[in-house]
Structure 1
Amino acid sequence: MEAIRLEFKSEIKEKILELLSSFSSDELKIVQEDPDFDANKKKLDAALAKIKNGTAKFYTIEEVDAILEETISKYEN
């Protein structure tokens, strides 16, 4: 199956859904889009750019463990 993204005015949503409902579930599946898709995509694109240009900060497992232990100890009491 292929997927496309549609943007439309809210006034025509009912008409679009009526048209799409004429297809069988084998032919068409309506998938709700993640409302945070664009924001998440921007964040991921920025992170990828940092990785590609060499400015991303990477941590070892030991460093992450130390950071988590420090953070947890702040909020334990």
Structure 2
Amino acid sequence: MNPHYFAFIELGKALARKKGLQWEMPLEDTGAAQDGVGCNLTAAAGDVPPPFYYLRDIGTEVKALAIVNAERVEGSAVDFLRP
């Protein structure tokens, strides 16, 4: 992985931890978080509920997915990520 991209991801993880957000989310095949899982954006913004806003749809990007799967093939992965 490109070291600059790696640093970008690590910064995202650090910011998520600082805001009390869950970085790792179990996802369905469609890219949406499984029921009952998501990032509480209301709390992350320091807002007072209600309402509550959650990020639950990570989604997929077809071109990026092709690149990731190509890297997984090089690493001998047997399963592929799907859009």
TM-score by length of 2: 0.28
User: More helix by proportion, 1 or 2?
Assistant: 1
Quick check: which has more Rg, 1 or 2?
1
TM-score by length of 1: 0.29
Which is bigger in relative contact order (C-alpha 8 A, separation at least 6)? 2
